[in-house]
Every structure is written in C-alpha cells, then in structure tokens.
Amino acid sequence: MPDLEELKSEVVNSQIWRSIFRGGLWSDTPRDRANHMIGNVWLHIQPAKVRKRALEWTYTWGLGGISFFLFLVLVASGVLLMFYYRPVPGLAFRDIKDLTYAVTLGKFLRNIHRWAAQAMVLIVILHMLRVFLTGGYKRPREFNWCVGVILLTLTLFLSFTGYLLPWDQLALWAVTVGTNMAGATPFLGNAGPFGASLMHMQMNNDIRFVLLGGTTVGANTLVRFYVLHCVAVPLLLGVLIILHFWRVRKDGFSAAPYGDVTEPKLDTWPNLIKREYIAAAACLLVLMVWALLVNAPLDVIANPHATPNPEKAPWYFVGLQEMLVYFDPWIAGVMVPNLIIVGLMAIPFIDPSPKGVGRYAFKERPFANTMFLMGIIMWFCFIFMGEFCRGPNFVWYWPWQSWLMQKPAPPPTWNLFGPTGVGKFPLALGLPALGLPVLAIMFLPKLIQKNLSLAKAALACFAGFVVVAFALRYGAHVPLSQGAWIVFFGTFISFFGVLIPQRHIRGLDWARYLVTMVLVVCTMGLLVKICARLAFNIKYLVTIPSVFLNV
Amino acid sequence: MSEDQLKSSASVASAVSPVKPPPSAKPSSGMSRGQFLLAGYGALAAFGAVIAGSVGRFFFPNVIYEPSAIFNAGSVKDFNSGVSLKWINKQVWVVRTSKGLYALIAICRHLGCTPNWFQDQQLFKCPCHGSVYNLQGTIIAGPAPRNLWRPHLEIATTGDLIIDKSIVQDSSPMRDEPPFFLPIS
C-alpha cells in the first residue's frame, strides 16, 4: 500500500486531475499561490496579492463577504424550500405548516432561511456604514457605491416579497400595506396626487394593480411575488453582485489609497482566503445555532377581513411604518424611501473632499460622518418607536406599559394652515410661515461666512428656544411640557440643520451645497412634523386638499 | 470594429472607388453614414420601446377572478340601531341611526387595513397606523387622508338591502344622500 503522500502526488499529477485543475505539483511557492488564485474560476475574482491593511478585521469587519455568504446560504436554503412549496392561497400556508412539522429538516431550513434573511439586511446596512466611514465611496468608487445602494434596496425588496409567501396574517397585511403605498404614488397610483384626476388611475389600471395582479392581495399576487422572490430579483441581485465585485477589483480595494504604492503586499492565498473561510464558518455556525434554537414565526392563516391588532412590519420596515403615522402615504411611503435611495446615491457626487479614504477618519470628515451617523441613528430611533412604543390600535404605549391598559380615545387632530385649519389661507399664510424657515435653514449656513463658535452658537439657539417656550407659556398658555418639545427639537434642528453645515460646508460650491441642504432640510422636516404631531396633535402643517398637498 | 476603424476603412473605400461621390456633395443621392447609423439606432430604439411597452402591458391582467362587488345583505328590517358586523366578511359595516341607514367599507383609507369597531368609544380604529374614524366614517385622528367610503345602497322589491361596493362616496353632503344614505325611520 502506497503511503498517503505518494497517493496524493499520484492523484494530483494524474491526467484527470490535471485536466480539471491547472498548474503542476503544489510546492507552496509564491508563484504557486499566485497561480492558484489566477487559475481558479471561483478565486480569480480576487487579486493574487492584497495589501496588509486590507486584511485587518477591524477595517472591513468582513461585512461585504458575510453579506455575500448570507446570500449564498439564502439561495441554497431557498431552492430547497421551493421543492415543498406551492404558491397558491390555502396550499401555501399548508405547505409551510408541512415544512415546519412534517418534512425532514424542513423546519431547520425555513428557520435558517428566515434568520439569514434578517441577518443579511442588518449586515448589508452595516457594510454600507463601514464603507461610508472609511470613505470607500469616493473617487473612483462612486459608481460602485451606487451599485451598492441598489443592492441594499434589492435586499430589502427580496425580504418584502418573501414576506408574502407563507400566506399568514403577517404576510397578507404587510403586503396589503406595502402595495397600497405603491397605490399612493404620485401620477401612477389611484390614491396618489394627480393619479386619479390627471392620469385617470383606477383600482384596475394603476401601478398597484400591476404589483397585485388584481385589485386585492390574492392568488395572482402570490404568484407574482413568488416569481419575483425566487427568480427575478435574485437573478438581478446576482448580476449586480458580480458587477459590484468586478468594480471592487477594478477600482482597487479602498484600504489601499491612491499614491501609497510602497505598502507591502501579501499573498491572497492563503492570507485572505483563510480569513474568508473563518468568517463564513463562524457565520454558518451562528446561523445554525440560531436556527436550532429559535423558530421562524408563523401567524395564523391569512384572513382578509381581520387585521391583527397591532399589525407591525418586519423590524427593518418599522421605521417606515412609524413615518407613515405622521405623513400622507405618498410622502412617507413613496417620496421618503425614494429620497433616501437617491440621496445615498448622491453622496459621492456632493462630497468632493478626497480626505479620509481607506481609514476611519472622523476628524478629517466631520460633516459627512456626523450627518450620516445622525441619519442612521434617527432611522433606528424610528424603528425603536415603531417596534417598542406602539401598542394596540398603533397608539403610543411606553415599553414598560401593559398593552392591556385601555388608552382613552385620542383627541381629534387639527390642521395649522388650510381650509379646515386654524390659518384659513394655506397659500397666503402657510406658504410664507413654513417657507421662510425652510429658506433660512437652506441658505443661512452659506450666507454667514464667519467662523462661529459651535458651543456658543448652540447655547444661544438653546437659550432662544427657551425664551420662546416661556413666551408661549405666558403669552399663549402653551404648557411648558409642549415648550420643552419646542426647545429640544428647535435646538436639535438649528444645531444639525444650520450650525453644523455653516461650520463645515459653507465653502462648498452652490450646486453641491444646495443638493446637500435639500437632503438636510428634508431630514429636519421629518423631525418638525413628528414634533408637531406628538406634542401638538397637529395632523397637517399645511393642507391644500384640491391638489393633495398635505404636509 | 471601433468607430475609428470604421471611419478609416470608409475613407479607404472612398479613395479606391472614385465613382462614389462624397456624402456632402449630393444630399439627394442618399443618406450619409452618420444618418444611416442614426436611423438604424433610432429603429432599434423604437423596436425596443415597442417590446418594452408590450411586455409592460403584459403585466396588466385582462381577466381577474375576484368576488362580485355587489351582494344581497338581507332584509333591511334585520338591521337594528347601531353598527352591524354581520357583513364584515364582505368588508362592510352596516350602520343604522335614528335618521336612516348607511354602510361603510371596512377598509382603512390610509393603507387598506381593516379597522376595528369599538362600541364603548363609538369609534373605528385601525391597527396598522392608528387612524380613528367616528360613526359617520369621518377621519378624526391618525394619518388617513380621507373618510371611510360609503357604498351604493339600494332596496330591492323584496325588501332586501343590495350593497354595491364598486360605487362609493366619501364626502359630505353627497354621502348623506341617497344612494349612499337611505332615510328610513
């Protein structure tokens, strides 16, 4: 019997093996290691050598690779689940039940599919955050950042389409709400501005009708979402992932900033590949333990006549659900998400600073990092509000309050400017009253070309709003509790909306400055409206019902 | 072949065949290379647009199998004062007041969830985003931009109430008049 080494060498040098794998006998030379990367179709998307800094865990945290690994896990588990699933109302729910209780490994596969999907959403968001903080979107990587934003959007869309497939209550109502948001699209939806009036949109010819394949969530909807979830979107996502990877190669890994070519390089095999395997293995271990310990939820079968109370979206959409409480659907459900996507894609083009590429550099890019982190934290605050502070009838319950506690009927809301509002003339009164502060936030930062002390200016704003609060208390009998809201939101908005931009981007050219400030003003607008509703019970700041303008 | 190569081969061709006139000399003799290419690309774009439009149209089903919007809700006399949940499976509440009878479609005007009726507070409350409607179906709190729909009502010769959900009204005073409100004592 030949010894093992001899056998291995015989196999590796056989004609069959050599016809599959290129290269000669492995002798672990740098040339071998490079050839191994170049000669393997799966490995050659990665360079033969990488910079040492790119290998540090604390630089990438492995987030991009983990996202991709989760995608592979989702494809594998998803394809297996498809063998037992029929996308027909009634059967679909029964098949999920069978998968859970009758099919060998079915429950585990469903669990791992569900938890990997949840993890992928989180990891992709964190990956975006990491790329932002290390300046990875800057020249020449603008385009790849945009591809990444589309990948994030598609990840969320895959989650959304997958949500309908179990055909339980959660599924039905999440999709009812989601598709009704599409129905609120301006021009293209029957309930959106100018939809019915200008474009003759009805229940049976608008964009919602296309999504549903009918006028309500039904059998056609299930098939459409099934095809989108299992074929169309994963294909598109796969193509864009390839593009994303290819551009990472072509644009250069961000840990290697331009000009710094003296840095030593290491062999990708085994240095990077080893780390990738460790990350994937660790990730799989966590997923498997998670899937063994926690079962994917399954509500009762879909009932189109009764909505669970309260009905909550999956956690990553709860922030959006919370926004929908304050704004009309076409704003919160259509404009805000689209503005977020477009705003994210605009970032590389409105930030001309070449500083801070390839490292976490807060001091070099204070404005970009402050505003981006503020946005992310704000979004997670909305998620917290929706997830933990909303109870039956979507009424505000603090996390420590029992949902069994009956809340009194809410007081009727009122409008500030509009035909049914306090100020009767939305155009004559509402437009200047709301437009002037908007213009002030928009232009003040660039018009004050002076170095202000941030602390002193912030303190002055705070003092100003305290004075306003007391003036309202003694002038208009506005209670101090409401005054506190004004002080908090007023100071917050003047700090992040005016003072921070004034300090950092007043030197920016007008085009970039204005685009940046539009995004800043919109973000601050969200806060104004939330404050108006929560503290003052205002439904609309300004409403012109004839043209659906309700803000 | 790249643009440059095309151009150079074209100039070679015109050099060896002196019969062919330069494109600019006689515009009536035909189109130039550029014009030809433009027309070609235009035709390609038009073809693409037609295909895209047709595939777009493909996604609008011509026949949908959904339950009828019209149904017989039984004898009018059976509805007592207050909100009847009898036809909630048809997504309709029937409301009888001292002045008459109307129905409300049990679909929130915000994003389409089914609100719940709270007898003690005399309110409809939506579980999805917290819209609150009063007995008339008027939005009084929460995010819904419009009032609840009132469907078309008709009393058949048998005395049965016929509800047609495909004809609806949500604004005053039309919703308080027939056929969206039946004044029955």
Q: What is the CATH number for B153?
A: 2.102.10.10
Residue B112 contacts A, CB cutoff 8 Å: yes
Contact A409 B112 (CB under 8 A): no
Which among A205, A325, A411 has the least Cβ separation from residue B143? A325
Does B148 fall in a domain? yes
Mutation target among A185, A299, A309 for the B interface, most CBs of B within 10 A: A309
Which among A218, A409, A412 has the least Cβ separation from residue B66? A218
Contact B60 A205 (CB under 8 A): yes
Which pLDDT belongs to residue B10?
46
Does B182 fall in a domain? no
Pairwise CA distance, residues A536 & A170, whole Å:
32
Pairwise CA distance, residues A366 & A143, whole Å:
23
Residue B63 contacts A, CB cutoff 8 Å: no
Q: Are residues B60 and B46 in the same domain?
A: yes
Residue of A nearest to B119 (CA): A409
Mutation target among A324, A393, A406, A536 for the B interface, most CBs of B within 10 A: A393
Residue of B nearest to A177 (CA): B111
* Cβ contacts of B166 on chain A, cutoff 8 Å: none
Convert B124-137 to b/e letters by CB count within 10 Å (16 or more is b).
Answer: bbbbbbbbbbbbbb
Chain-centre distance for alpha carbon A128: 9
Q: Are residues B77 and B159 in the same domain?
A: yes
Q: Are residues B79 and B146 in the same domain?
A: yes
Residue A216 contacts B, CB cutoff 8 Å: yes
Which pLDDT belongs to residue B179?
92
Residue B167 contacts A, CB cutoff 8 Å: no
Does B74 fall in a domain? yes
- Is A398 in contact with A389 (CB distance < 8 Å)? yes
Q: Are residues B165 and B79 in the same domain?
A: yes
Q: Are residues B107 and B165 in the same domain?
A: yes
> How confident is the model over B58-112, as pLDDT tens digits?
999 999 999 899 999 999 988 989 999 999 999 999 999 999 999 999 999 999 9
- Is B143 in contact with B129 (CB distance < 8 Å)? yes
Q: ∠ CA A443-A444-A446 to the nearest 5 degrees?
A: 75
Contact A324 B129 (CB under 8 A): yes
Residue B67 contacts A, CB cutoff 8 Å: no
Q: At what angle do helices A169-183 and A315-326 cross, to 10 degrees?
A: 50
Rg (CA), chain A: 27
Pairwise CA distance, residues A261 & A244, whole Å:
24
Q: ∠ CA B153-B158-B161 to the nearest 5 degrees?
A: 20
> How confident is the model over B115-165, as pLDDT tens digits?
999 999 999 999 999 999 999 999 999 999 999 999 999 999 999 999 999
Confidence category of residue B2, pLDDT binned at 50, 70, 90: very low
> Within 13 A of B185's CA, how many CA atoms are on the CB side?
0
> How confident is the model over A420-452, as pLDDT tens digits?
888 888 888 888 889 999 999 999 999 988 888
* Cβ contacts of B88 on chain A, cutoff 8 Å: 305-306
Does B3 fall in a domain? no
Q: Are residues B151 and B118 in the same domain?
A: yes
Rg (CA), chain B: 33
* Cβ contacts of B118 on chain A, cutoff 8 Å: 409
Which among A310, A333, A550 has the least Cβ separation from residue B127? A310
Q: Are residues B39 and B85 in the same domain?
A: no
Beta bridge partners of A549: A544
Task: Give the DSSP H or E segment for A378.
Answer: helix A366-388
Contact B130 A393 (CB under 8 A): yes
- Is B131 in contact with B115 (CB distance < 8 Å)? yes
* Cβ contacts of A177 on chain B, cutoff 8 Å: 111-113, 128
| Phi, psi of A56, deg, nearest 5 | -65, 130
Residue A202 contacts B, CB cutoff 8 Å: no
User: Could you say which of 1.10.620.20, 1.20.810.10, 2.40.50.140, 2.40.10.120 is the CATH number of the domain covering A59-302?
Assistant: 1.20.810.10
Mark the ranges of chain A whose per-residue pLDDT is less than 50. none
Residue B142 contacts A, CB cutoff 8 Å: yes
Q: Are residues B46 and B80 in the same domain?
A: no
**Å between A226 CA and nearest CA of chain B:** 15
ipTM over 0.90: no
Domain that holds residue B116: 70-176
Does B10 fall in a domain? no
Q: Are residues B58 and B98 in the same domain?
A: no
Range from A261-265, B23-27, B41-45, B57-61 carrying the lowest mean pLDDT? B23-27
Residue B77 contacts A, CB cutoff 8 Å: no
Which pLDDT belongs to residue A91?
95
Which among B61, B113, B126 has the least Cβ separation from residue A220? B61
Task: Give the DSSP H or E segment for A180.
Answer: helix A169-183
Does B152 fall in a domain? yes
* Cβ contacts of B126 on chain A, cutoff 8 Å: 307, 393-394
- Of A368, A390, A309, which Cα lies nearest the Cα of A501? A368
* Cβ contacts of B89 on chain A, cutoff 8 Å: 305
Which pLDDT belongs to residue A2?
61
> How confident is the model over A324-359, as pLDDT tens digits?
999 999 999 999 999 999 999 999 999 988 888 888
Which pLDDT belongs to residue A212?
95
- Which residues 289-318 of A are in CB contact (within 8 Å) with B? 304-311
Q: Are residues B157 and B105 in the same domain?
A: yes
Q: Are residues B80 and B142 in the same domain?
A: yes
Does B185 fall in a domain? no
Contact B145 A392 (CB under 8 A): no
Does B11 fall in a domain? no
Q: Are residues B52 and B82 in the same domain?
A: no
The neighbour count for residue B90, using CB atoms within 10 Å, is: 19
Which pLDDT belongs to residue B1?
42
The domain spans of chain A are: 4-44, 59-302, 414-550
Number of domains composing chain B: 2
